Amino acid sequence: MREDLRPIEQARTFKALMDKNGWSGNQAAKTLGIAQPTVVRALALLELPEPVQDQVEQGTLAPATAYEIGKVEDPESQQEIADRVVSEHLSRSETIAAVRSAAKRAPAKPGKDRGVSRTRKVPTSRTLKAAGCRITVEHRKGVDDDLLAAALREALDQVEAQRQHAA
């Protein structure tokens, strides 16, 4: 792996290696000889909206700062905070404060708001039973049928690659 990869490029490389080899983040870190949190933080960048990823790639938003922004669940809020960080030249600690403030403004989770009706969110996990196994797909932004199908196809490809590698 090249050592001069930009942050998003590095994250995509980690993801590609993990997918190709069926590695977990921990296995990738051990194999590559890097700290596991480095892999986790890099992969978290791929969960950010494209415009925020672009800011990281252009160098206007530090990867560590973008990682903190990724802790906000709403992509629009992530974008707003990222734009504010860039325009106001906020430090990482100021960004963390903005993230905490956004979390306080976020609507309460369903069930905690005493009868107020909310639009239903896409579930963040789906569990299927097949061949005596339980298969769970989780994604923090929700799992719809298309994501479930794509995740299962990708997982099957990883299993097939492992079987071929073992043979």
Domain count, the chain: 2
Say yes or no: 18 and 100 in one domain: yes
Per-residue pLDDT of the chain (167 residues; tens, 9 = 90+): 556 789 999 999 999 999 999 998 889 999 999 999 999 999 999 999 999 999 999 999 999 999 999 999 899 999 999 999 999 999 888 999 999 988 877 665 554 444 444 444 556 777 878 788 888 888 777 777 777 777 787 788 788 788 888 87
Say yes or no: 97 and 19 in one domain: yes
- Does the residue 82 lie in any domain? yes
Q: What is the pLDDT of residue 122?
A: 59
- Does the residue 111 lie in any domain? no
- Does the residue 78 lie in any domain? yes
- Does the residue 129 lie in any domain? yes
Could you tell me the residue range of the domain that residue 140 belongs to? 125-166
Kindly state the DSSP code that residue 127 receives in the 8-state scheme: E
**CATH classification at residue 17:** 1.10.10.2830
- Does the residue 119 lie in any domain? no
Say yes or no: 97 and 140 in one domain: no
Say yes or no: 94 and 148 in one domain: no
Say yes or no: 133 and 99 in one domain: no
- Does the residue 1 lie in any domain? no
